[in-house]
Structure formats: structure tokens, C-alpha cells
Structure 1
Amino acid sequence: MDRLACMQSFVRAIEMNSFSAAAREQQTTQPTISKQIAALEKYLGVRLITRSTTKLNLTEEGKQYYQYCQQILETVAEAEASLEGKEKAVGTLRLGCSVLFGEMQIVPRLSLFIARYPQVKIDLMMADYFVDMVQEGLDLAIRIGNHQDKALISERIGITRRVTVASTSYFEKSGEPKTPEELTRHNCIVYTSLSTINEWHFHGKNGVIAINVKGSFQTNSSVAVRAAVLSDLGIAIAPIWMFGDDIYQGNLKVVLQDYQPVPFPIYAVYRRSRFYPAKVHCFIDFLREEFKLDPWVSDYGV
């Protein structure tokens, strides 16, 4: 029995609340995970887990053993990481980000990163919500906007500058708003994944202006927001990187230039630990340098 592998399976099964999910992450089968945990229980002579229909529950012995396993696995990983320099970044980096940001800002840069660090593989999970990093087994997440999770460490690596934008066809038909207040007379595309939902915020001469907007379409998908704007459906506030090329080509137009939407910071987020492997720090440094050169996401001088 490989006790270290069994411990890893035990910890990840509990964190993910699923033998099957732990098996998929480790590229093995659910029966293998079950056998490993059963082998641990036989070796220790105690029951570690009880199952209900929806949850894996730790016994009292299981809770104590789980804490020790976490410490042991972290110590092993720390020992391995202590031998790594930046030039020795290795392993699979499990990375999370939002869907459209991943497609437009992360994936196009991956070939350069992998060429620089050929021993690192990227496992990218994209979702338009903040995923549980422990449950999903993520090493690193790129998040846009502020968050309050004190269990995580955040490093600011850029900024999402936003614009008020619609298609030129929409403005020809409906006119252009000259002030934020005039947005209440327009069809506005609402992105429901934001905490403010239909309350849009602008920097004006006298401070922040908050406007409640409405429209015939709302969505929790940034991809759908982009498609709706390009389909002449209405006005959106969106990151300029979502539409930069379309704006330059004249398909879309930015309005309310004197009232800039409040920008959002971009953070690299990872779990608190006594250490972190080189692959994580290398990727954070890589994105920070890449974003510094890109005016749409650069935090330099802000």
C-alpha cells in the first residue's frame, strides 16, 4: 500500500465530497479511490468515513486523521518545492478564471508561458462565478473584482478598464445617451453575475454616480453579453478587452466618455500555506509582466 497516495485520495475525496470527483482529478477510477481509503481504514483499524446520500461524513477518528494527513501532505509538498527554483517550475498547474477572460486574455498567452516553462502543464477551469478553490483542487485563480475571502491570498496583477458600449446600428436607431441618467431610457444589457446587477456606477466630475438600468435581456454569461452587444440588442458596460477590436473596426461605439465606468481590479488568488510551488509564482509573475504591456488590462501607473 502506498500510504502517501492513499492519504492524498482520502484528503481530496473529503475536500471534494466525492470519491468520483477525486478519481477524475487524479485520472483514476472511483473503485480505486474506494480501495485506497478502505486500505487506510484496514491499516489503521478504524472507520474514517461514513456516507449519506449527499455527503461524505468524517468519524471522530477520521477528523483527527484528516488534519494529520493535511499536515503531512503539505510538508511533503513543501520539501519538494524547496528544491525548485523558478527555472525548475514543474507539474500541472490547476488554474481557474472566468470564461471570456480565459478565452481572450489567458489562453492566447499560454503558448508563450509553456515555451518558457516546458515542464509545466496547464489544467484550466473556466466559470463565470467564484469557484471553491479547495473543492475544485485549484492551485491558482484569476479573479476580477474585489472579494472578501480571508482564507485566500490575493495579488493584484492588473485592472479591467470598462466602457459603455453598443453597436453603431443600435445608436443609429435609438440615439446616444449624453449622460448616465439618460441610460434609463435605453435598452441596457444587464450582467447578473455582478454584485450590483442592474446598478451601474460611473466616475463623474462630482464623484461616483449610480444609475439603475433596465432592459429586455439579462444574463449571467459574459459570452452572452458580448453576443448581445454585437447583435444590436442594446447598451452594456463591459471590459474594453471584450470589444477592443470591434470598436477599432467601427462596428461598436463607446459613449459617455466623460463618465467612466468604475474599473475592476484583477487578482491572482491562491490558498494560504507556508509555501507555494514555483509553478504558481512563475505564472503570477508571467501574467503580471504580460498585463503590464497591455493597455486594456495594465495596472501600471494606476
Structure 2
Amino acid sequence: MDRIACMQTFVRAIEMNSFSAVAREQKTTQPTISKQIAALEKYLGVQLIARSTTNLSLTEEGKKYYQYCQQILETVAEAEASLAGKERATGILRLGCPVLFGQMQIVPRLKAFMARYPDVKIDLMMADHFVDMVEDGLDLLIRIGNRLDSSLISDRIGTTRRVTVATKSYFEQAGEPQHPDDLVHHNCLVYTRLTTGNEWHFQGKNGIIKVRVGGSFQTNSSVAIRAAVLSGLGIAIAPVWMFGDEIYRGDLKVVLPDYQPTPLQIHAVYRRSRFYPAKILCFRDFLAAEFKLDPWVSELGV
């Protein structure tokens, strides 16, 4: 029995809460994963996992062993990396990010990253809902927003400036707001994943202005917000990168130039550890360098 391999399988099964998911990840079968865990339990002489039809839960012995396994696997990875060096980034990078940001800012950059680090493969999960890194088995998560999780490492790699925007046809019909307070009379398209909900925040000369808005459409999808704005349905505050091309072409118009929606920070988030695999650090540094040169996601703005 390869105990290191069994430890890795055991840890991944708990992280993903599924033997089947681990089997797919390792390109094997669910019975094979079950046999690995069973062999490990037989070797140790204890039950590690209490199985049910919908959930995997650790026994008391399993909890202790899980913590030791994490430490052992980190030490093994650290030993291997000390010989390989940072530029020898290898393995599968399990990456998470918001849907539209992934489509527009991450995926187009992957070819350049993979050309630089050909031994790294990307497993990308895109979701607009809150993602639990451990539960979803992610190595690195790109988060947009100013709320940080102190239990994780959050490295700032960019800034997303936001604008108040709609189509020219919408403004011809509804008029242009001159002050954030005017937005209460507009059909505001609300992205419900914002931590402030339907309360939009603006930076004015005299400080922060908060306006509670409303309208005929709200959604938890950034993709749907983009489509709704482009259709002329209403007005939204959105990252400038979401509509940069349309703004430059004149298809959309930015209003309230003296009242900027509060910018949001872009972070590379990963779990605390004594050792960080090269694949994580290389991708973090790659994105930070890329974003620094891109006015839509850098401190410089546009």
C-alpha cells in the first residue's frame, strides 16, 4: 500500500466530500477510491470516515488523522519544491473566480501563463456565489470585494474601478442623473451578490454618498447584469472592465463622473500554510503583473 497516495486520497475525499468527485479528479473509479480508504482504515485499525448516502463525516480518530495528513503532505510538497525551485511550477492548479471576471479577465490570459509554465494544468471553477476553498478543493481563489477572510491569505493583485452606465437610448428616455440621489427615479439594475445589496455607494467631494435604489430587475448573475444593461433595460453600477469596449465604442454612456462608485479590490486568496506550492505563487505573481499593465484592473484606472 502506498501510504502517501492513500493519505492524498483521504484528504481530497474530505475536502470534496465525495469519493466520486475524487475518482473523477484522479481519472479512476469510485470503487477504487473506496478500496484505498478501506485499506488505509484496515492498516490503521480505526474507522476514519462515517459514510452516508449524501455526506462524508470524520470520526474523532479521522479528525486527528486528517490534521496529521495535511501536515505530512505539506512537508512532502515542501521537500520536493526545495529541489525544484519556484520556476519549476508543476501540477494541477485548482482555480476559482467569479463567472464574468473569469470569462473576460482570466481565461484570455491562460495561454500566456501556460506558455511560461508548461508543466501546470488549470482546473477552473467559475461561480458568482460564495466559494468555500476547502470544501471545493481549490488551491487559489480570485475574489473581488473589500471584505476579507482573516483565516485565509489575501494578496491584493488589482483594483476594479466601477462606473454608472446605461445605453444612450435609456438616457434619452429616462434622462441623465446629475447626482446619485437622482437614481431613486431610475430603473436601477441590482446585482444581488454585492455586499451592500441595493444600497449603492459613491465617492463624492464631501465623502461617501449612499443611495438605496430599486427597479424592475435584479439578479445574482453578473452575466445577466451585462446583458440587461446592453439591452437598454436600465442603469447599473459595474466594473469598467465589464463594459470597457462598449464604452469606448460609444454604445454605452457613463454618467455621474464626479461621483465614482466605490472601487473594489481584487485579491488572490489561498489557505494559510508553512509552504505554498510554486503553482500558486507563480499564478498569483503572473496575474499581479498582468493586471498592473491593464488600466481596467490596475490602480491607474482609465
Structure 2 length-normalised TM? 0.96
Give the stretch that moved more between structures: 106-115 or 232-241. 106-115
- In the alignment, which residue of structure 1 is the partner of 2:115? 115
Q: Distance in 1 between matches of 2:281 and 2:59?
A: 37
Q: Distance in 1 between matches of 2:226 and 2:139?
A: 29
Q: Give a deviation string over 1:240-274, Cα, whole Å, max 9, x none.
A: 00001101111100000010000000001110000
**CA contact 1:84–1:278 (8 Å) conserved in 2:** no
- In the alignment, which residue of structure 1 is the partner of 2:150? 150
Runs of at least 5 residues in structure 1 that lack an aligned partner in the other structure:
none
Q: Give a deviation string over 1:202-256, Cα, whole Å, max 9, x none.
A: 0011100000000000000000000000000000000000001101111100000
- In the alignment, which residue of structure 2 is the partner of 1:84? 84
Q: Distance in 2 between matches of 1:60 and 1:297?
A: 46
**Secondary structure of the structure 2 residue equivalent to 1:209:** strand
Give the stretch that moved more between structures: 257-266 or 58-67. 58-67
- In the alignment, which residue of structure 2 is the partner of 1:218? 218
- In the alignment, which residue of structure 2 is the partner of 1:75? 75
Change in 2 beyond 3 A, CA 1:18/1:195: same
Q: Aligned runs of 1:48-197 on 2, under 5 Å?
A: 48-197=48-197
**CA contact 1:291–1:299 (8 Å) conserved in 2:** no
Q: Distance in 2 between matches of 1:109 and 1:80?
A: 28
**Secondary structure of the structure 1 residue equivalent to 2:21:** helix
Aligned letter for 1:19? Answer: F
Give the stretch that moved more between structures: 217-226 or 25-34. 25-34
State the Cα distance separating 1:178 from its structure 2 match.
Answer: 0.7
**CA contact 2:148–2:154 (8 Å) conserved in 1:** no
Q: Distance in 2 between matches of 1:156 and 1:300?
A: 15
Q: Distance in 2 between matches of 1:141 and 1:279?
A: 13
**Secondary structure of the structure 2 residue equivalent to 1:258:** coil
State the Cα distance separating 1:55 from its structure 2 match.
Answer: 2.5
Q: Distance in 2 between matches of 1:59 and 1:89?
A: 35
Give the stretch that moved more between structures: 121-130 or 185-194. 121-130
**CA contact 1:168–1:251 (8 Å) conserved in 2:** yes
Change in 2 beyond 3 A, CA 1:26/1:150: farther
Q: Distance in 1 between matches of 2:218 and 2:136?
A: 28
Q: Distance in 2 between matches of 1:119 and 1:56?
A: 32
1:8 aligns with 2:39: no
State the Cα distance separating 1:277 from its structure 2 match.
Answer: 1.3
State the Cα distance separating 1:300 from its structure 2 match.
Answer: 5.4
Q: Distance in 1 between matches of 2:165 and 2:121?
A: 37
Q: Distance in 2 between matches of 1:147 and 1:158?
A: 15
- In the alignment, which residue of structure 2 is the partner of 1:289? 289
Aligned letter for 1:85? Answer: G
**Secondary structure of the structure 2 residue equivalent to 1:133:** coil
Aligned letter for 2:92? Answer: T
State the Cα distance separating 1:104 from its structure 2 match.
Answer: 0.5
**CA contact 1:142–1:269 (8 Å) conserved in 2:** yes
Q: Aligned runs of 1:219-258 on 2, under 5 Å?
A: 219-258=219-258
Aligned letter for 1:183? Answer: L
